Each structure stands twice: as C-alpha cells, then as structure tokens.
Structure 1
Amino acid sequence: MARSVYVVGLGPSVGKGAVALGIVELLSRQVAGVSVFRPLVSGAGSDPLVTSLQERYPGPVPAADSFGVTMAEASALIADGKREELIGRIVERYRAVERLSTAVVIIGSDFSDNTDEGRDELPRELAFNARLATEFGSVVIPVVSGEGRSAESLAGAVRSAYHSLADLGATVAAVIANRVPPAASGGPAPGLPVPFWAIPEFPVLAAPTVGEVADALDATVLSGTPGALDRDVLDYVVGAAHVPTVLAHLTDGALLITPGDRADLLVAASAAHAAGTVTLAGLVLTLGEPPDPRVVEVIERLNTGLAMLVTKSDSFHTIAASDRVEARLGTPRKVEAALGVFEANVDTAALSTVLDVARSSKVTPLMFENNLIDRARADRRHLVLPEGTEERILRATETLLRRGVAGLTLLGDPDEITRRARELGVDLGDARLIDPATSPWRDDFAARYAEIRKGRAVTLELAYDVVRDVNYFGTMMVASGYADGMVSGSVHTTAATIRPAFEIIKTVPEVSVASSVFFMLLADRVLVYGDCAVNPDPDAAQLADIALSSATTAAAFGIEPRVAMLSYSTGKSGAGADVEKVAAATALVRERRPDLPVEGPIQYDAAIDPAVAAAKLPGSTVAGQATVFVFPDLNTGNNTYKAVQRSANAVAVGPVMQGLRRPVNDLSRGATVKDIINTVAITAIQAGAK
C-alpha cells in the first residue's frame, strides 16, 4: 500500500495548494513514483493545480486519471441520495492510483465561498474529507488560514481544526497555518499533540499574474515581452485623476487600469516605470478603447516590456473582476516562491519523520536535483556569478535566493543589473551587486594577480586591466575568500571561464590536472562521466588523476564510486597503445587508492550490463555495476555523453569542474535557468566539502 497524505483546507482560499506543493517536493526527494490525487474536480475532469504539479513532478498516473469524480457527477449522486455510491466511486478511483504509486498526496475538495450558505456547508464538507481520508488510509494535514487573525484567534483556530478532524476519526499528522500575519507569528503555541508550523504572509503567492487577470477580463494583449504576463499583480490603481495624482498612488507591482484615451497617464506611468521610480505590473485599458498608435510608439520606445491589455468593460467592472481573480501556482516563479517560503518555515526533516516514507534505493533525476537543493540549503555558501546582466542568470538568482540555496554576488554595473531585473520583473532580494571597474577591491586584486603571474611578466598596470574582466574579478573574489565559489559561462566561452581558475586558484597538490564530470541522470540511477569537457588526450598519469577526482566527486554527491576505466578492450582481449595507456592508468589508481573499486581496461557494455560482465569479467566487483565511467580521451567522452543524453533521454548535469583548490564551474552557453540553479547548488556543495 502506498503511503498517502491528505491535505485539507479549513475554509476557502487558505493556500492548501502551496502546502501540497511543498509536501510533493519533500516526498519526491525521497522516493520515485509520487502521485497527486483530487477527490473532486470542476469542469470535465481537469484541474489546474493537479496539472501544474504533474508538470513539475511527472508521476506514474496521467492527469486524466488523477481525480475521483467531477462536481457535476457528485451533485447528481447527492441529489439522488446516493452519497455512499459517491464515496465508493472516489475510493475506487483512488485505489487505482494507489496501486501504481509509491506515495500519494491527496488535495481535498474546495470549500464553498464565504456566503451564509457556504458557511453552512463547512462542517459537512469537512466530514466528507475526513471520511475519504479514513477510507484511503491517509494521514491528514489540515491547513488553517491565518489571514487577518490575532495570535490568540489563530491558536484557537488551529486547535479547533485538529479536534474537529480528530473527532471525525481522521489521523491528523500535523497542522499548518498559512498566510499568517506578522502580528500573529509570535503568538502562543496552540497546544497540540502533533507538530504545528506557521507559514507567514508572502504577497507574491496571493498575487495573480497579469496573464491570469487578462484571462479573467477576456482582454486582448496589445504589446509586451514574452514574460510580461508572468508579472505579479500586487495592487490595482484606477487612473482617473491628473498625472501627478496618479503617479503619487502608483506602487511597485501595481496594475494601472485606465481608459485607453488617457494618453497622458499611459505615457507618464510607462516613463515612471522606465525611470525606475516605480515597478509596474502592467497596463489595462478599459472600454475597449485602444490608444492612439502614436502613443503606443512612444511607449514602445521607452522599452518597458510591460503588457498592455485592452478590455471591453468599464473601469468599475474591470477592477471588480480583477479583484476576484485568485492566484494559481501556474508559473515557475510562483512555484519556486511557494517552495521557498514553505521550506523556510516548515521543519521538513520533522515532517519527513511524521510522514514516515522510507527512502528509495533508486535515484531519479528529480530526486537527485532536489537533493542538490536540499544539501546546498543545509550548508549555505556565498557564490559569485560574473554574468550579472544576463536574463537567465537573473531569473536563476531570484529562485536561488527564494529557495535559500546560496548567498549571491552579481558582477556588472549595478544600475544596469537593477534595470534589467526591473524589466524582467525579477526580485533580486539581498543579492550583492558589484562593478569590477569601480570596486575598492580592484587595486588589491591587481596587486595579488601581478604577484601570482610575475613569472609571466605581468605588470601591475596590466593586472589592473585584467582584473576588471568579470571572470578574473570573480575568480579573485574566490581566491581572496570573498566568495566560496564561482559559476560562469552562460555567455562566456569555457576557456574564458576556467582559464582564470587555472592561473589563480590552481589544482590541489595531489592532482596534476583539473578535469570535469557530467552527472548523467538516467530514469532510475545517476552515473558519473569524466572527463568529457576539458582534457583532449590525457596521458596515463593524468587519466589516473581524472579517475581519482571523479571518484571523489561521486562520493561527495552520495554516489558510491565503482570506477570503470573505459577502452575498446576488456581485460586482455585487445592490445595497442590506447589500451596500454588505460591499463597503466588503472594500475596507478589501484596503487594510490587500494580501497577504491576500479576495473580497466573495460568496454562500456561490460561496465554497465551485468549479463555482459558475467561473460567477459566474471567475479569483478565493478563490471556490470560501475557508477563512474572514465573515458580515455575527450573525443570519446564528449560524444558518448551526448549520445546517451539524446538517445536515452537522460539529463546531463555539468560539466562540473574538479581538482581545483576552490570550486569554479562552467555553464553551457545554452544553459537553461534550471541548469544554472543545479550548477550553483553543486558549486555550493563543493564549497562546503572544501
């Protein structure tokens, strides 16, 4: 039977979706095969929350099978007095999901609204959810709204939630209060026999996006960058007064609602946004009136990137409809924000104990990536990102800071970085912004670099120019202890990224050559490939160093190293200079690390396939179960990792540099935001290990 947890909200709009997200994230770090289930869904069987969760956490059950019944079906059965049949149908659908899953997160039904009729339904709906949880064999986590409550009121609501469910026979595992205002966060403990956690108000989570408002208004999008619809709407301002008055009322995150013929307000608001005096969410033009094309041209030249929407309703009905829009966890930014606030306020280790899910022996790509985030957060380091104005870096920075993965320094002109972040609607939080050209560290860095490179005739004047380069400046920050590691390469070449590290940081004493590995995330395990990015044709001694470094890297990331020294020959089945090089490197590895399981020369199929290994190298402790694959040269390694990545649909994380005294990692110039987040987390973990 799958372990299951039932998340139920005590009242409407309590944010149980964000809590369910945090629990799915937690379970996905521990086991593969986590499913999401909703007993009741509206419409024809689709649910935006389930769809969003399944897109992020692909499970064994498709979205079409992840619900019990539709609201229409439930209403018909209840009207016919067939409540038990309704329960039976939902339980039957749930059991089908459970049979395919390792763990299931059930998201309870949505409570009615705050009308008197809706309040009358609350006890009945709570009993309905408690009954289902019991039938499913699930533990229950009730979510209580802290919105607008005093400390005493919140404590009472939490106790009431626990006892109401316990009296209905539900097994309550913990209670979570969500959207708790600062005034109630330090209130009295509710006095429960189960854990209790309070999650504070986080305006971004309660804020709809511009796109969600556009959908609710059935608005037409006139202009805006691709990411403009993902901006969060924190406030609404109706533009009906003169320009100075409206400007005085604009706040960060505000959506300006005004008739399309108010060219003065549209231009003034756009100019204020472009100047940085306020960061708007977007513009809504009412009465179906588009602005004069000459006005649009002026606004576009301001390059705000803001979405401009046109709706047919008047200002009164537009603001009324906008105010009813509820935020969804529909964008990656919103998801990361929700996870960040959940992980910062819920003791996930204690919650894991409460849920009692045994960790799987298999490691999926999602589990590995989530584990990276978890380990980096547990030992938070400070990293420098030299490419501070690059969009992907800025978006990754927002996520990394919200998730608490690392402290960050961005290099570049602070005004330019701030301007780009404002254009993208990105919150840089407490990121440190440094311009190498004007930094007070530049003189010291120049003197240190000149001393390091004096054997290469580097003068102080030349060094002063060199350290202005963002990669050299970032590397000097790492060497000087101002940062624990560096990640670059999204717009720079590999050489530009790692050359400063070779010159300044250099390799650890026992390693003659720096190298790299890729973590290859297959469907049910993680393999380590080295070296696929740095050394074109290593000799036997360098190949041995690569193998030892790769084994150390694997162990640092929880992968038991069993090293395969790859060749076109297994054992003594072949001969030639290339085979002899691998044999000599294997002998050096065994001499330096007698405790390390290593086999070589060995072919790839004998290293990974137990059946082939039994025929070619019976009795080997590595053949058929290798975890670290060391390629004889760059040509072989680079082509193999890309072939496996594409043909086996594997996720390749890397290249991860190894053998340096302090961690510096290179990004692909095609790196996605997710790639950057993973690489920063890896670098932070490496820094902790150093």
Structure 2
Amino acid sequence: MPINVLMTVPTGPGVGLTSVSVGLVRALEQQGLKASFFKPIAQPQPGDEGPDRSAAMVAQGSTLTTAESIPLQEAERYLYNDNIDELMEEVVGRFQDSIEPDSTVIVEGLAQIPGHPYATRLNKAIAKTLDADLVLVTAPNKMRVKELEHHVEIAAGSYGGIKAADVIGCILNKTTPGSLGAKSYGDSFAQRSIFKRNFKLLGQIPTAEELTYPRVQDVADYLDARIINAGEIETRRVQSYTLCARGVENMLEALQPGVLVFTPGDRTDIIMATAIAALNDTKIAALVLTGGYQPSESLMQLCGKAMAKGLPVLSVDSNSWDTAINMQSFNKEIPLDDKDRILLVKEHIARCIDHDWINSFARNQEERKLSPPAFRYRLIETARELNKRIVLPEGEEIRTIEAASICAERGIARPVLLGNKAEILRNAQNNGIEIGNGVEIIEPTTIREHYVSPMVDIRKHRGLTDIVALEQLEDNVVLGTMMLQENDVDGLVSGAVHTTANTIRPALQLVKTSPDASLVSSVFFMCLPDQVLVYGDCAINPDPTAEQLAEIAIQSADSASAFGITPKVAMISYSTGGSGSGNDVDKVREATRLAQEKRPDILIDGPLQYDAAIMEKVAKQKAPNSKVAGKATVFVFPDLNTGNTTYKAVQRSADVVSIGPMLQGIRKPVNDLSRGALVDDIVYTIAITAIQAGQAEAKAN
C-alpha cells in the first residue's frame, strides 16, 4: 500500500492544476522517492485524442505507468443515475491498478471548467474514498494578497476548512511580477494568518515566459499553413510575432530572435531583409507569407543560404492583419508530443515545491535505485551550493554560451567564457541568449602574458621557453588549463569543438595526476529509464593492465559514491566466475582480486558477463552467491574497445542519455565534452566539474 496519498484540488478555474500535479510527481522523483500518479476521471480538452493529458505528461521523462482514467461521459452517467458509490468503487479499482507499493501517490482532482459544476462534489468524494490529504492549488489571478487569503479559505471550506487534519496546505501558482514582485507577492502571502498548524504554503511557482513558447510547427498547424521551407520548424520556438507591412528601414528592429514575421507574400524587400538577418545568425522563428502570394523561384534561390541556415518559411491565404489577429486565439496548451516543453514545465514546477516537505515522505520508503531525475537534481543542487568558478575555453561557441547563461541564471556555477567579447555578445544576441551579470567574459589577449612564467616553470625540464610558452597559450584550452593550475578558476570544461586529446593533453602536462593516482581514467553516467549506471573506462585507456584496471575500478566506485550512487562494482568479461579461461579473463580476475584487497569497503565482483551483472534472473543462474551480480551500479570494462563499443551501443540502441566522460585521477577537475554535445549536456558537465572541484578542495583540507 502507498505511504502517502496527496490529492491536488483547485481553488478556482485556471489555476494550472495539471501542471502542478505533474510537477509534484517530478519533485518526488528528483528526491529519489517512489512516486505514483492517478487521474481518476479524465477531462479532455477540445482536440485531445488518445491518453489523458495528465497521464501523458507524467510519462514524459519518467518510467511511471498510470492506469487509464474513467471517461468523463461514464462518470457523468453514474452521477445522472445517482450511483456515486458505484463510481467510487470504479475509482478504487483503477487506483489499485495504478500505484506502486510503498509509494507516494499524487492524485489529480477535477479542474473547475465550464460545464463541469460537479467538480468539487466529485473531488470531495474521491478524497474521502482514497483517504487522501488535500493540497489546494491556487493562483493570484490579479487578486490582492488579502483577497487571495479569503479565496483560499473559502475554497478550503468545501473540504472541511483549513483546520481540517487532511487539508494540509496550498501551492501558489502563476505568480507574476507586480507592484510587489513575484517573490515578494508569494512571501507576503506566506505570512498570512491562514498558514498555521498543519496548513502550510507548500510551494510558490512564478510564471516563466519561456515555458509558453510554442514550436513553429504548432503555429503552422494552427494556421493551416503551407510549408515553403521547413528548416528548423520542429525546434524553433515563437517568442513573439510582428506584422511587417512598412518599409524595410522601419522594420529592422523587429527582426529579433524568436520573432514570427508576418508579411505579404509579394513584399520581396521584407523577405530579403529577413533572409539577410538569418544569414547573420539571427534565429528568427519563421517567416509567414500572407495573402496567398508565392515567392518566385529566383527569389527562393537568392535566399537559399538563409533557408539552409534553418529559417522556416510558411504561406497562408489570409491577409497579414487577419492572420495576426487570428494568432490571438492560438491555444498555448502544451501539445502532448512537445517533449522538451513538457519536461521544462515539470522541472520548473518541481524546483519551486518545498523540498523539506517533499523529503518528509522519505521516512518509510525503502532504498531505491537513483533515477535520472533524482541524479540530475542532485547534480544541480550540489553544484549550486559550491558556487565554483568554471572556465570554458570555447567561449565563442553558441552551445557553450547558452550553457554558461543557464548555469549563471540558475546559480549552478560562475562560468568564465574565454574569447573575443564582441563575438560572444554578437552570437548571444543573434541566438536570443541573454548574458547576465553572472557570466564573466575574458579576452585571452588581456591575460595571456600573465601565465607565461608559471607555464615555463612547470615545463622547464622539457626545455620550454617564454616564446614557445606564449605561442602555446594562443590555444584557449592551454590558457584555461593554466588558469586552473594557478587557482584562478576551479575547473575546466572543453570539447564542444575540440578533440578529447586537445582537452586532456594540456591537463596531463600542466595540472598532472592526483598524488594517489597512477593514471587518468574516465566514467560515463548512463541515464537509463529507471536508474543511473556508471561505466568506466570508455574513453581513455586502450588496454589497461590488471593493476591499472583495479585502479580504474576503485576510481569509478569513488566517483559513483560521490554522486549519490551506491557503488556495486562489476568487473566485466566474456566469462562469469571461474567458467572461462584465457589471458583476457585472467586479467579481469586478477584486477578484481587487487581491487578487493585495496578497498575491502567496496562491493566488487568479477569476472562477470554483462547480463549477469545487470539482470537478476541471469545472476541467480550464473552467480547465485554474488552480492553484485544482478544489482551492479558500476560497470568496469576490460579495455577501451569493449567499453566504448558497449556505451555507444546502449546509448544509441536504447536512446539513453549519457553524461560524460568525466575524468578521474587528474589533480584538478578537467572534463571533456562530445563534439555533438547538447546544451543540457554542457550544463550537467559544468555541474559535475563544480562538484569535483568541491571534492578536491575538501580532500586537500
């Protein structure tokens, strides 16, 4: 049976009940808690098809499965026939089918929408039937703080009032900056007299404009537009729109990143101006040609390079004015196939829920696997507490700039971008990236000479001279590495445009290995659907000896432990136990023995085949007495060929997110990126680097 059942109910219409409910599930997952979700009665919106909207949003980025909701028409039929008891029996049956044992269950009540006057009545019955604690979801909706207090008290009265034992508190959603500011509004509301005893303010969720931006594809579908050039139609998002029917000189300021440009299809001048902006790397959302006019083939050829840069071009039959007016009725509800936006909403809301309250549910839950949401959350929160300064030598690269902006905005680290300041600012502006005060930009030419003498001191035994040192410092990775060596920064992240060798070689030459390490190795954090595993070494050592493999195992176990993963180390081979023989198996067997001798505090077993290490059924047959088989969290591969092949096969075949490689054994944190890294990959690597810097500092003290 579940430990806790929490039911979200609205205090009125338009409070964002579904978003808050799925955000609560994510908040539980982030803390590594067992969560379940149940939507008793479906409330489809116009155009919705397939699964219930709430259940579909919960499923994005989660391994949870949910029971099918009772169709609304069926529930209304029960009510019409005065058979509410039978309806509640159906609710209980589906509830039991949807929950995991020993979990905290989020039950989403019915929203108050036109045509559903029975919502509160059914919510009361469901809460009583499931013995649920009630969480009220409210929104200011332009109310003053005192008015909102009265509003919440009246809504709570329908469920026994704020003094009732099972009415535990409320979540304030959709706060917007006003005369008091969003945070001040929430804080003022939190100080009201209604929050006493068991009734608490459980979360304050400000609006975030970026969570409302639709994809260009969604707008194209809404306008029933013809697609002239698809470009990046599925990934670009619309932040605003503008009607351009004036002269080019009067509309240039409107050509900003994220803008949807409406213009008559025969305005060649505006079409060309938009194309020029796109060529200058301004990521305009899309160009919409109105009036049914089609651009000529020669014009399309002239603008071909702009189209190749991803600019979507659409065509509609209505005129510009009517098309722009029509956009005011665009439904900003999140399409269920917009995975990125759903995940952003869930993460945003989860961050704003009271974490102490969420953690209070952990008291009776058994230890569970560390899920990807919990892992990512711990990364960000731990890094935020450390507040480390991380240098990014590829400072002019767009993904790196955006990652730095995100890290500064969320307080993950203090990023330092190395590069030409004017170029960095231009790239940021053209891509709609806001560089706040938390991002530091350093021109390499202003600091390069400062590091010549220290670098010569480090490499003088190799005959390094001032002239050669200055020449090598022209490479920003080398410069960043010297900043790290001289303690001017706490860590370095590179590799978005450089090779692994370009990133690691300067670190080995200038920073060198840790005193207790004889080699540098790496691990990947493999974010499987239900847990995070550690793979080592998949990037550095081609064919380690038994002694080196034992050290890699110990390094990888310590890395897992440092990031909240209980290390259970499987030494991987093509043979399990004593069933096989040969040099390769013997090496793994000897490495296992050495690692166990050096670190008896770590669970290490091998040789184990991969399936015996990860699958309990196979483990019971092949290694029944092993404490690691079937439960391994750290996988140590015998050589680079095996490790790199396995990690990429798992990553690509199972659509698994991998974070890394994270380097181990270097005296100060240096981490490499894949050249295909996404912005989120860079953000998490920066967080990992910050945490490693904190660990190195603690170890030194």
Structure 2 length normalisation: TM-score? 0.81
1:313 aligned counterpart, secondary structure: coil
Q: Distance in 2 between matches of 1:136 and 1:66?
A: 17
Partner residue, 2:131: 137
Question: Is 1:659 the counterpart of 2:665 in the alignment?
Answer: yes
Residue pair 2:17, 2:111 contacting (<8 A) in 1 also: no
Residues 363 and 495 (structure 1), Cα distance of their counterparts in 2 relative to 1, 3 Å cut:
same
Q: 1:449-598 alignment to 2 at 5 Å?
A: 449-520=455-526, 526-564=532-570, 585=591, 589=595, 592-598=598-604
Note the C-alpha offset of 1:509.
0.6
Q: Tell me the residue number matched to 1:68.
A: 70
Task: Give the match for residue 443 of structure 1.
Answer: 449
- Which deviates more from structure 2 when the two are superposed, residues 644-653 or residues 42-51? 644-653
Residues 80 and 146 (structure 1 numbering): CA distance in 2 closer, same or farther, change over 3 Å? Answer: same
Moved more, 311-320 or 390-399: 390-399
Distance (Å, rounded) in 2 between the aligned partners of 1:66 and 1:428: 45
Residue 490 of structure 1 deviates from its aligned partner by: 3.6
The offset of 1:69, in angstroms, is 1.0
- Aligned equivalent of 2:43: 41
| Letter of the 1:68 counterpart | I
Query: 1:495: how far off?
Result: 1.2
- Counterpart AA for 2:370: V
* Aligned residue in 2 for 1:172: 167
Give yes or no for contact 1:412–1:436 (8 Å, CA) kept in 2.
Answer: yes
Partner Cα distance (1:435, 1:209) in 2 = 35
Tell me, in whole angstroms, the C-alpha distance in 2 between the residues paired with 1:249 and 1:373: 36
Partner of 1:6, secondary structure, is strand
Deviation of residue 510 (structure 1)?
1.3
Q: Could you say if the C-alpha distance between residues 569 and 181 of structure 1 is closer, same or farther in structure 2, counting changes exceeding 3 Å?
A: closer
Report how far residue 492 of structure 1 moved: 2.6
The unaligned stretches of length 5 or more in structure 2 are: 697-701
User: 122, 146, 149: which one pairs with 1:128?
Assistant: 122
Specify which of 260, 263, 286 is matched with residue 290 of structure 2: 286
Q: Which residue is 1:255 aligned to?
A: 260
| 1:310 lines up with 2:308 in the alignment | no
The Cα of 1:90 is off from its aligned counterpart by: 4.9
Deviation at 1:427, TM superposition (A): 4.9
The Cα of 1:658 is off from its aligned counterpart by: 0.6
Corresponding residue of 1:353: 360
User: How far is 1:612 from its partner?
Assistant: 8.5
Output the CA distance in 1 between the equivalents of 2:457 and 2:598. 34
Which whole-Å deviations, capped at 9, do the CAs of 1:52-81 have from their partners, x for residues lacking one? Answer: 4312223223xxx542214x5556666666
Question: What is the aligned partner in structure 1 of residue 192 from structure 2?
Answer: 190
**Which 10-residue stretch deviates more, 201-210 or 616-625?**
616-625
- In 2, distance between residues paired with 1:248 and 1:570? 67
Q: How does 1:299-338 map to 2 (within 5 A)?
A: 301=305, 305-330=310-335, 331=338, 334-335=341-342, 337-338=344-345
Query: Which of 166, 169, 176 does residue 181 from structure 1 map onto?
Result: 176
Mapped contact 1:383–1:406 kept (Cα < 8 A): yes
Tell me the amino acid that sits aligned with residue 326 of structure 1.
N
Alpha-carbon deviations, 1:228-265, whole Å to 9, x = none?
7531324x433345555555677775433343334444
For the 8 Å contact 1:436–1:469, the answer to whether it is kept is no
Change in 2 beyond 3 A, CA 1:296/1:618: closer
Query: How big is the shift at 1:553?
Result: 1.3
Aligned pair partner of 1:55 in 44, 60, 85: 60
Once structures 1 and 2 are overlaid, which stretch shifts more, 440-449 or 83-92? Answer: 83-92
The runs of 5 or more residues in structure 1 that have no matched partner are 113-117
What amino acid maps onto 2:27 in structure 1?
L
Are the aligned partners of 1:228 and 1:307 in contact in 2 as well (CA < 8 Å)?
Answer: no
Q: 1:520 to 1:218 in 2, by over 3 A?
A: closer
Which of 213, 220, 245 is the aligned partner of 2:219? 213
**Mapped partners of 1:564, 1:590: distance in 2:** 12
Return closer, same or farther for 1:291/1:629 CA change in 2, 3 Å cut-off.
Answer: closer
Give the root-mean-square deviation of aligned CA atoms: 4.2
Rounded to whole Å, the distance in 1 between the matches of 2:278 and 2:646 is 49
- Which residue matches 2:699? none
Secondary structure of the residue that 2:99 maps to in structure 1? helix
Question: Tell me, what secondary structure is at the counterpart of 1:68?
Answer: coil
Q: SS of 1:222's equivalent? A: strand
Q: Confirm or deny: 8 A CA contact 2:25 2:106 kept in the other structure.
A: yes
Contact 1:166 1:172 in 2 (8 A): yes
Task: Map Cα deviations across residues 553-599 of structure 1 (whole Å, 9 max, x no partner).
Answer: 12212333344556678788887766776566556545544544545
Stretch moving more, 454-463 or 39-48: 39-48
TM-score by length of 1: 0.82
